[in-house]
Amino acid sequence: MLNSLFFFIQIIIIFFLSRLLTQNLFNFFFILTKSRQWSINLLAVLLLPGTIVHELSHWFVAELFGVATGEINLMPRDEGSGIKMGSVKIAKADIFRRTFIGLAPFFMGMILITLASHFLPNNLSMIANLSLQQILFSLIALLVIFLISNTMFSSAKDMEVAFVPFAITVVILLAFYYFDIQLTSKITEPINNLLTKVNYAFLVTIIIDALFFLIVKVSLHFSSKMLKRTIVYN
């Protein structure tokens, strides 16, 4: 139960942290360029690998479920209230398939983040003894975690379809807890082991994104002071 609760809490933290981070990255680019369009373009280029994974996840699961797909667009689009980094044309489908297609980037992101976290040192004492190859793998892992965690929630439509399964899962977990329903260890152990690995990966993600956020926030503050510019959108 605690593993499940920790899992959902971390998802919420990563979601809001990614929003804060991307918004501050955009603000930083805006301070430097004084152009909304250039800021969008720079942000899109920075997050492009994550956007590719995001859209391909939609496309792959749609094809897997037999839903017709069309053009994949990786060009950013300014929608006023937000920025759409990419899109893939997908035919209308029933709510069951639409839910899986909509959640595909999240689950793909979770898999990639969990895999990437295995290439990071488990404790600070290991850092001094890393080989050049291990350092390279660790840097790549950090980059993967940063890019994926900041793009796997990027679509508002994805979040709409996620609400129903999320709510159902929470209700089921609360029912199990309230009625003290016990499952056999053959079922609970694999689930707990998986959740432990994912929770560790998500905790690493939160730390990495929080550090990036602080770096961007400090950079934004000093660049604003040095250039004597403030955020004023046209």
Residues 177-232: tens digit of each pLDDT: 777 777 777 777 888 889 999 999 999 999 999 999 999 999 999 998 898 887 76
- Looking at per-residue pLDDT, the higher value among 79 and 107 belongs to 107
* Of the candidates 125, 115, 120, 43, the residue with the CA atom closest to the CA atom of residue 86: 43
Residues 136-156: tens digit of each pLDDT: 999 999 999 999 999 998 566
As a dihedral over the C-alpha atoms of residue 160, residue 163, residue 164, residue 170, rounded to 10 degrees, the angle is 170
Quick one: pLDDT at residue 65? 93
Three-class DSSP category at 80: coil
Q: Are 52 and 74 in contact (CB under 8 A)?
A: yes
**pLDDT over threshold 80, residue 28:** yes
Quick one: pLDDT at residue 187? 76
Q: Give domain limits for the chain.
A: 2-227
How far, in Å, CA of 77 to CA of 80, rounded?
A: 9
- Looking at per-residue pLDDT, the higher value among 179 and 26 belongs to 26
CB-side neighbour CA atoms (13 Å) of 198: 22
What percentage of the chain has pLDDT greater than the value 70?
93
Quick one: pLDDT at residue 125? 66
**Start-to-end CA span in the chain (Å):** 48
Residues in the chain: 234
Quote the strand ranges of 26-113, DSSP E.
Answer: 69-73, 77-78, 83-84, 87-90
Based on the number of CB atoms within 10 Å of its own CB, is 29 exposed (0-12), middle (13-18) or buried (19 or more)? buried
